[in-house]
Amino acid sequence: MLPNKKIIAFDVDGTLTASKSPITEDMVFLLKELIKQKTVIAMSGAKFGQFETQFLPLFLNDNSFASFLPNLIIISTSGTQRYEYDIIKKEYIQTFKEPLDENVKKRIKELLQKVIDSNLYDIPQNIAGDIVEDRDTQITFSACGQLASIEIKKAWDPDQKKRKRIVADLERELPEVTMLINAYSSIDIVPKGFNKAVGLMQFINKLNLEKSDVIFVGDGLFPGGNDYSVKEAGFDTMPVTGPEETALIIKEWLG
């Protein structure tokens, strides 16, 4: 039976997909059936461009599903951007953005470069992809590189101690931002006070809804996890261990 909620929100990486991997056709089928009945939000620390390659194609390329696309909301870059489908323009358009000051971004990048050059944090020498990525409203630091394998990312900082040290060192220099320890090797740096919970609140306030109208499904709902802000904010949540468990839950909801 479907939950008695108006909105079902999902984390993406580790919940609907394997990290940085395309969503499967089986998961898309389940989500389509859910979206036909509920408003569904897909949330991530990734930028919208990642959604365009990893998540959205199998929804957008199905003409028979086009009328339901307004029910699929994308909240990217840790809650600082939102995209909604415009049925007239036939595309997703940005409907919310919390800017990150350009001068602040410059300082963030300079300080992160000092972290990389310091040799204090065991930053790997052979990286795959960018270590520092400008996602417009968010700067993401990924010590092993954005394209490193999950195994390499997991091995670098399994207990988050390295990233907690980096955050503690940078917070004194950057009071204008919030730093979110994310996934396996990343730190997301966003405007002060922002996280997934705030991005979710921005959307439900627009609809004059309450927290009780939402349930959130995610793999990082534990203290220190990248979804924990949602639980901490008082939303109803459902923890999962990966896409396989998420698929089972959706199947149970759909009956």
Please state the pTM of the whole predicted model: 0.94
Read off the pLDDT of residues 122-170 as tens digits, 9 standing for 90 and up. 898 888 889 999 999 999 999 999 888 888 888 999 999 999 999 999 9
Q: Determine the 3-state secondary structure of 47 from DSSP.
A: coil
Six-digit token string for 139: 């700067």
Domains and CATH numbers, the chain: 7-98+194-254 (3.40.50.1000), 102-191 (3.30.1240.20)
Q: Do 227 and 217 meet the contact criterion of CB atoms below 8 Å apart? A: no
Task: Tell me the residue ranges of DSSP E strands in 98-185.
Answer: 132-134, 139-142, 177-182
Read off the pLDDT of residues 54-111 as tens digits, 9 standing for 90 and up. 999 999 999 999 999 999 999 999 999 999 999 999 999 999 999 999 999 999 999 9
Q: What's the Cα-to-Cα distance from 247 to each of 2, 135, 143, 217, 221, rounded to whole Å?
A: 14, 29, 31, 11, 18
DSSP 8-state secondary structure symbol assigned to residue 8 = E
Rounded Cα distance, 69 and 32, in Å = 9
